[in-house]
A and B are shown apart, each in its own frame.
Chain A
Amino acid sequence: MAINCNMDSQTTPLNYSIETENLNLWYGDFQALIDVNVKIPDGQITSLIGPSGCGKSTLLRCFNRVNERYGNVTTEGKIEVLGKNIYDSDVSLPELRKTVGMVFQRPNPLPISVYENILFGLRIHSPVGHLTRAESDQIVEEALTSVFLWDDLKDRLKVRATSLQLEQQQKLCIARLLPLKPRVILMDEPCSALDAKGTLAVEELMEVLAGKYTFLIVTHNMAQARRVSKECIFMFLGELIEHRETQALFQTPQHPKTADYVQMRYG
């Protein structure tokens, strides 16, 4: 059913950050994911498109197992992150979520200062009083610099983060992940609450950071998928329909459902 194009044209074999095998997921009796087999290449941006309710966000939330926090979820199948099965008994969820970060649709900085938002991840993963003042300052500066916020916010580090502009909040939410040295960053429609300028700023940021991190981005904005992602996955009613290079998927969709979806907006 699913069309997975092997990337034979690649000269070197790709490494995959995330691989699933026959992934099935139920919310109670409702099956939200059906036999999903997917390989997400390392160090690049992959986008996930499809109509609302097709399981994109659900799939995303499988990869750091945060789905389980929402109750009444059953997962079957195999998920490997960086080659490790995340359902192995020796997997610690806090450690997994450190490595696989998540950015949300609605920017959700914590109701504490900008400074403390950046350090929050480190604080919950290290003993009390572990960080010296100088270390903290440096970590905050590095994280904010990586997301191009340092110049804007260096004099406002004590400001409550929820009072920033939405674009700054969303960048802060990305910056907040960085001190934990994540390998994968999952983004669930990260730009849908932002204006055009904010959207472009976040996209630029992703392009700069890709390479260091693997990005998987859910988006309803097909233009965005075409702009930022190298590979694109189309999902429909819980199934993975087509996964190919983004330009190929949009220009010559192989599956009629993909064609319908892609052309609905571009026909």
Chain B
Amino acid sequence: MNTDTQTSPQTMFTETAISRQKRHIENVMRVFLFVITSLMIIPLLLIIGYLFYKALPVLSLDFLFTNPKDNMRAGGLWAPFLGTIYLVVVSLLVSAPIGVFAAVYLNEYARDNWFTRITNLAVVNLAGVPSIVHALFGVGAFVLFAGLGESILAASLTLAIMTLPVIIASTTEALKAVPMSFREACWNLGATRWQTIRRIVLPNSISGILTGVILQVSRAAGETAPIMFTGAVFYKAIAEGDLFAYNIVEQCMALSLHLFTISTQVPDVTEGIPYGTAIVLVGTVLLVNAAAIVLRVYLRTRKKW
């Protein structure tokens, strides 16, 4: 006969002091972690909300499609807006293919030898170089040595050098996520490395690769330092509404530099304009991201099974 009440069937599942304490800690931790996670959203909403509130008086289609006026104290954003798009597009046209193909080589072809190790070391270190150093490199290499002068091309190449290592790193991660067994299956059917990459590895990693590239859009659009000595100017009027108003061997305005200029260098700017510029900069990045996401979804559905 069991006389121990602790283990009698009626009480054996009853909460003890210790299990009550564990339950309380569990609840506290769940709430704590949720709050910490929510804290990330609050600054974002505050920033965007504040910008919108301050920018509301100037936001209109005209704001986007007219040039700055009165020494940038009034008017719109067309020249810097188009300039940023040029810089981002040209730099990604250079860095995305080079970065992706270099990562494919490093991950799929290269053996583990001194060349691969040095390359990987270079990629990691290049990713950690401050953007102002990239700017100086851009001035030396593209503006002066290559003779491109201060131009969209020189600035874009500088941005490309800056984004390249991160694209290589993110593409490598995406390629590594494709299971080795898929490659083995291909090789053992007699597929060459390139056939394996083209038919199996790339289609299964394209989402991850694009995500990595997309993140660099925001970086290229937002950076000021690498472009201010290599191709961006304080002020330049261009044909309004003409998508081809810039020539890539000439200089351009850019949203990031424009924002810096009108916030700190120009007195008596109409109050909403800097906030409007910030909204357009954020909006441009979101727009490019959205376009890339659409492309990613399209690529995913096009894959046949």
Contact surface of A with B, Cβ cutoff 8 Å: 64, 66, 69, 71-72, 93-98, 101-102, 104, 106, 108-113, 116, 120-121, 123-125, 158-161, 173, 176-177, 180
User: Which residues of chain B (157-179) have a CB below 8 Å from chain A?
Assistant: 179
Determine if B181 and A106 form an interchain contact, defined as CB atoms under 8 angstroms apart.
yes
Verify if B190 is at the interface (C-beta below 8 Å from A): yes
Closest to B183 in A: A69
21 residue pairs from A and B, CB less than 8 Å apart: A64-B188, A66-B184, A94-B191, A95-B190, A96-B190, A97-B187, A97-B189, A98-B189, A110-B200, A111-B182, A111-B200, A112-B305, A120-B186, A121-B190, A124-B195, A125-B190, A158-B305, A161-B305, A176-B189, A177-B189, A180-B190
Contact surface of B with A, Cβ cutoff 8 Å: 111-112, 179, 181-182, 184-192, 195, 199-200, 204, 303-305
Determine if B304 and A108 form an interchain contact, defined as CB atoms under 8 angstroms apart.
no
A120: contacting residue among B112, B179, B189, B192, CB under 8 A:
B189
Tell me, rounded to whole Å, the shortest Cβ–Cβ distance linking A90 to chain B. 16
Determine if A116 and B304 form an interchain contact, defined as CB atoms under 8 angstroms apart.
yes
**In whole angstroms, how far apart are the Cα atoms of A262 and B228 in the complex?**
76
Chain A binding surface SS class: mixed
The interface residues of chain B lying within 8 Å CB-to-CB of A93 are 190
A66: contacting residue among B111, B179, B181, B187, CB under 8 A:
B187
**In whole angstroms, how far apart are the Cα atoms of A248 and B281 in the complex?**
79
**In whole angstroms, how far apart are the Cα atoms of A140 and B276 in the complex?**
61
Determine if A113 and B304 form an interchain contact, defined as CB atoms under 8 angstroms apart.
yes
Tell me, rounded to whole Å, the shortest Cβ–Cβ distance linking B202 to chain A. 12
Determine if A66 and B188 form an interchain contact, defined as CB atoms under 8 angstroms apart.
yes
Determine if A94 and B204 form an interchain contact, defined as CB atoms under 8 angstroms apart.
no
B181: contacting residue among A72, A104, A113, CB under 8 A:
A104
The interface residues of chain B lying within 8 Å CB-to-CB of A125 are 190
**In whole angstroms, how far apart are the Cα atoms of A101 and B204 in the complex?**
24
Determine if B181 and A71 form an interchain contact, defined as CB atoms under 8 angstroms apart.
no
Determine if A111 and B188 form an interchain contact, defined as CB atoms under 8 angstroms apart.
no
The interface residues of chain B lying within 8 Å CB-to-CB of A102 are 188
**In whole angstroms, how far apart are the Cα atoms of A176 and B191 in the complex?**
13
Closest to A176 in B: B189
The interface residues of chain B lying within 8 Å CB-to-CB of A120 are 186, 189, 199
Determine if B305 and A159 form an interchain contact, defined as CB atoms under 8 angstroms apart.
yes
Closest to B180 in A: A108
Of B181, B190, B199, most A-chain CB atoms within 10 Å: B190
Closest to B188 in A: A102
Determine if B305 and A160 form an interchain contact, defined as CB atoms under 8 angstroms apart.
yes
The interface residues of chain A lying within 8 Å CB-to-CB of B186 are 110, 120, 124
